[in-house]
Amino acid sequence: MRTLPAASGTVSRVDAVRLWLVDDHVLLTEALAGRLAAFADLAVAGWCASDDPRLAAGLARELPDVIVVEPERARLSEDRLFALIQDAAPDARIVVLTAGREPERALAAARAGAQAWVPKAAGTTHLVEVLRGVRRGDAWFPPRCLGVVLRGLRADAHRARPEGGPLAALSGREREVLGCLVDGMRGPEIAAALGLSTNTIRAHTHSVYAKLGVHSRLQAVKAARAAGLSPRTPADLPL
């Protein structure tokens, strides 16, 4: 894993887009980091391989705005890698940088939490514009993939409608726990907020997973968001 000191380059600029690169090809990653660091409004905080055991700790420490992931060479599955990234840096946006062209893979990335799918052939200038836009809240997928992505996500939302979807099977307490997961809360935080033990929260969480047919926090949150559950504002959170 390579991290850059906060006092060097543009990393110390508070208005810069803080980046982290995840790629299992070290030389290409270093080259990309150098090209991106040449832009005054971008700050490359670090980079590492997908299976680097220090990845989660590095993300949690550096708190990047945008994480650029190259999935083709990753030694972890996309679902596992995206879940790890989002658990460690839940506020970061994910941009996939890929040589792939299959619309179905773009849809899978969107389902896993990616805000953008950028072909490598598009070049550095286009990537930089996407990184800036994603930091502002934009999303970007190639036009040739966009139809498949939108239809797939629309179908997901239809299947997860509360009146007939899997959320209808949840108890009131399970819905509360799921809502806390969507808010980004961890087990001890949920336990404190709902006045329950961490073991009880763990049991409710596993029950939620089973009823939704998922196997991770990331997948549960995706199902909830598709069904219309959105993160609450601080004023709406349980005391």
Q: Give the model's pLDDT for residue 7.
A: 30
CB-CB contact of 21 with 44 (8 Å): yes
Tens digits of residue pLDDT in 146-183: 999 999 888 876 665 555 566 788 888 888 999 999 99
The Cβ of residue 204 has, within 10 Å, a number of other Cβ atoms equal to 24
CB burial of residue 133 (10 Å; 0-12, 13-18, 19+): middle
Domain coordinates of the chain in residue numbers? 2-155, 161-236
Report the b/e string of 172-197 with b at 16+ CB within 10 A.
Answer: eebbbbbbbbbbebebebbbebbebe
Tens digits of residue pLDDT in 84-136: 898 889 889 999 999 988 999 999 899 888 999 999 999 999 999 999 999 99
- We find that the CATH architecture of domain 2-155 is 3-Layer(aba) Sandwich (3.40)
CA 236 and chain centroid, separation: 23
Of all residues in the chain, the percent with pLDDT exceeding 90 is 52
Which CATH class name applies to 161-236? mainly alpha
